[in-house]
Amino acid sequence: MAKRILVVEDNDLNRKLFCDVLQASGFDVEPVADGAVAIERAKAFVPNLVIMDIQLQDISGLDLIAGLKRDKDLRNVPVLAVTAYAGKGDEQRIRDVGAEGYLSKPVSIIPFMNAVNGLLARSNGHEPIPLHA
């Protein structure tokens, strides 16, 4: 059974890129453009991983991560935070609300897939096998 990944990203090009790469790698993907429905969609989709844009138009990705981590059914789902704002202290602030992974934009495919596979492997109790260029 394919692993399920929820992609919360309001930028159409980024969302399409993430979804295309993940689907090509055999994942079942649920794209979400509107952060306001992200938790509701996560509950319906029951993902193995959530990829979360931090700078959404209508709601903070930080608030959404905190909401996922407060939910008894979703709190153990790892979150990979992706953000264009990679200032000093941002990664720690994002990890402090509960994100297990962090990538700054622009995202390259190999580091992205390494982060995805690493988080999925760790959530299953395995060591990740990194991809190389």
Tell me if residue 51 falls in helix, strand or coil. Answer: strand
Percentage of the chain beyond pLDDT 90 is 81
Beta bridge partners of 50: 6, 79
> How confident is the model at residue 84, as a pLDDT?
86
Q: Is the pLDDT of residue 51 over 60?
A: yes
For residue 40, name the pLDDT band (cuts at 50, 70, 90): very high
Task: Compute the mean pLDDT over every residue in the chain, rounded to the nearest whole number.
Answer: 91
Q: What does the pLDDT look like over 113-130, one tens digit per residue?
A: 999 999 999 877 655 555
Cα–Cα distance for residue pair 106/4, rounded to 1 Å: 23
Place of tokens 């059974």: 1
| Residue 11 · residue 56 · CB < 8 Å | no
Confidence (pTM): 0.92
> What structural domains does the chain harbor?
4-123 (3.40.50.2300)
